[in-house]
Amino acid sequence: MASDVAPVIKRLDEVVVNRIAAGEVIQRPANALKEMIENSLDAGASNIQVVIKQGGLKMLQIQDNGCGIRKEDMDIVCERFTTSKLQQFEDLNSISTYGFRGEALASISHVAHVTITTRTVSSKCAYRGVYLDGKLKESVKPCAGNVGTQITIEDLFYNISTRRKALRSPAEEYAKVVDVVSKYAIHNCQVGFTLKKQGESMADVRTPPNSSYVDNIRAIYGVTVSRELLEVKHEDKKLGFKMLTFISNANYSVKKSTCLFFINNRLVESTALKKALETVYQAYLPKGAHPFVYLSLDITPQNVDVNVHPTKHEVHFLHEDSIIAAIQAEIEAKLLGSNTSRTFFTQAMLPLQATDDSIVKQDTTEGTKIIRAQETVRTDSREQKLDVFLEPRGHRHGSGPENTEHAKSDEDSQTKMKKREIKLSSVLQLRQEIKDNKSESIREILKNFSFVGCVNQSHALIQHNTRLYLANTTTLSKYLFYQIMIQDFGNFGIFRLSVPASIKELILLALDNPLSGWSPADGPKEDMADYVVTFLTSKAEMLQDYFSMEIENGNLMTLPMLLESYVPCLTELPLYMLHLATEVNWDSEIECFKSFCEQTAYFYAFKKSSVESSDENDSKGFGVNSCYTLKENDSDDESLPKNAWKWSVEHVIYPAMRQMLLPPKCTEQDRSFIQLANLPDLYKVFERC
């Protein structure tokens, strides 16, 4: 039954109105921090520091180096609807700043204790004001402070007990704060962000100013996602939007979706956009897996309504379905174009001993060994190799020096001579270090492997027992030539240049190379070249005696022969000569020999760049190789095929590794060897199919 007396409608007290409004704008500490970050960005800050206590409930402090707040505005800065960004309602149609309604500080001051310390560039000192319910508690006071603004929020929701009790634990609230700071740090990569808990020295989020999107994603979300990112840019003038996005490719997936959406620089949520992107990825990711997406949209301001939600985490814009469809199409095209291959990361660590107890089995009754099909391996290296199926028909991979295991040089008579004994303690110590640092498990592989074929100029496939390995030719050959330098110290053969090489010309060529590290601050190139010539000439006697390098009248005449039938790439000779003068430690005997051998080993190592440089010089007719050749190999130049480097890898470098290389222990971890397959494991997979 209706009451006979109608209730009286009263105007709510202003304090009640403000607290109701504050509860809509500020729902938790992360909302308050989001508003403060946006204010700092609007102020032109390039560095923002955030300190949190108890998830932001006890204290939330943000400090920036922006333009600051004028002293004259300190009286009304925490009153509702006070702003410098909006003059009339029509201005909402073209708003381009983060804040515009002037509610953030007012709302916070009605549910927390707020202290503002600020200083402008033109001010001689900073000013501090303490606020409660939008009003100053006392007059503004001068104090010391840097240019910018520091806002301290204490005891959030102290006067709204139900809201405070409804919030989650401080740890969960802090996680939401971290999420907000992380997202703004990625989007505003030109601004440095720091977030940490009060009393702790280590920051949970730290990004430097003037960084990049990918660098900040790497710093916050890790290397795993950053190395799988695809950049997508698109502009549609008809629909009036521009898009920049970094999305994960098909190699990356996580159980929980990570989506960062910014529309006109505002961090927003968009269920429609998220659903559209998830639909695209369904064709590329396993069921239950999700991508990483950072998406920034710039839409014509007149087409966006930013005033549809108290916390501004949602926006509405015209042509929403068409824009989302265009974004979906661009991302799908990018993923489709990048899906030609997948990357699978393998473990670089190898087993200590390649001893498969299942390789052979003993039949106790007949005393014979029984080998199952999955344990059968190819042991005859003369059988067909992978290259047979890769080379054009009629072209034999090994058509270089045929029917010979090693090509002969003019120095055979020298190599057959008895080697002189080296008794230098430094050399003996370096030899002992090589022996002490040997990896037994890798040495076992190198002693008994079968060469399968070259993958490219820097990697090759080898087989050992039932395992297939990807071997790093560049790294292993560097170790090989270093050990040859130490073991054959003072007993090298000689490669003689067909034309004496002017050391000064070589150094000038090296200084023109960006890899030399030369800068104008180092002085004129001519002076540097003259210095190197003088320095190396002064060491000529030692270089010839120990390393078979003859220097005469400022010219390089010979190089040491480390392996028969193997010639280093002379394109890198200029940098090598420069590094002998600048990178070798000539002050200590043992360090001198060690660093000299390391530089020489790097020069002789088989590198992809060496093959490419050699091919380029052959076709263009310039560079060091066009001027200098090694006399011992002049007769072979015409007979070697274009892919002669494959012959060198298979018939010279890897046999030398089998015979001489004592692989250091670091090869177990540095991806010199990567196990790709194991025959028994493959059989298990096939049995399940």
The per-residue pLDDT for 689 is 47
Structure tokens at 371: 């080998």
Cβ–Cβ under 8 Å, residues 564 and 406: yes
For 439-491, what is each residue's pLDDT tens digit?
998 999 999 888 988 888 889 999 888 888 999 999 999 999 999 999 999 88
**pLDDT reading at 319 higher than 70:** yes
Q: How far is CA 281 from CA 217, 223, 268, 292, 297, in A?
A: 20, 21, 21, 10, 20
Mean pLDDT confidence for 184-209: 93
- pLDDT tens digit string along 501-541? 999 999 899 888 888 777 787 788 888 889 989 999 999 99
Which amino acid would we find at residue 271? T
Q: What angle do CA 663, 669, 674 make, to 5 degrees?
A: 85
More confident residue, 355 or 576: 576
Provide the pLDDT confidence category of residue 213 given band limits of 50, 70 and 90.
very high
C-alpha angle 311-261-164 in degrees, rounded to nearest 5: 35
CB atoms within 10 A of CB 19: 18
Of 319, 331, 333, 234, the C-alpha closest to 274 is: 331
261 confidence band (pLDDT: 50, 70, 90): very high
CA angle 399-404-405, nearest 5°? 105
Cα 63 from Cα 645, distance rounded (Å): 61
pLDDT of residue 622: 32
Above 50 in pLDDT, residue 397?
A: no
pLDDT of 151 strictly over 90:
yes
Which one is predicted more confidently, 13 or 416? 13
Q: How far is CA 389 from the centre of its chain?
A: 36
- DSSP string spanning 312-364? ----EETTHHHHHHHHHHHHHHHHHHTTT--------PPPSS---TTS-EE-T
Does the pTM surpass 0.75? The reply is: no
Confidence at residue 465, expressed as pLDDT on a 0 to 100 scale = 84
Q: What is the residue-averaged pLDDT of the chain?
A: 79
DSSP state, residue 649: I
The amino acid that residue 344 corresponds to is: F
Helical (H) or strand (E) element with 221: helix 213-221
| pLDDT of 127 higher than 50 | yes
Mean pLDDT of 75-104: 62
Q: Is the pLDDT of residue 116 over 90?
A: yes
Question: Looking at residue 335, what is its pLDDT?
Answer: 87
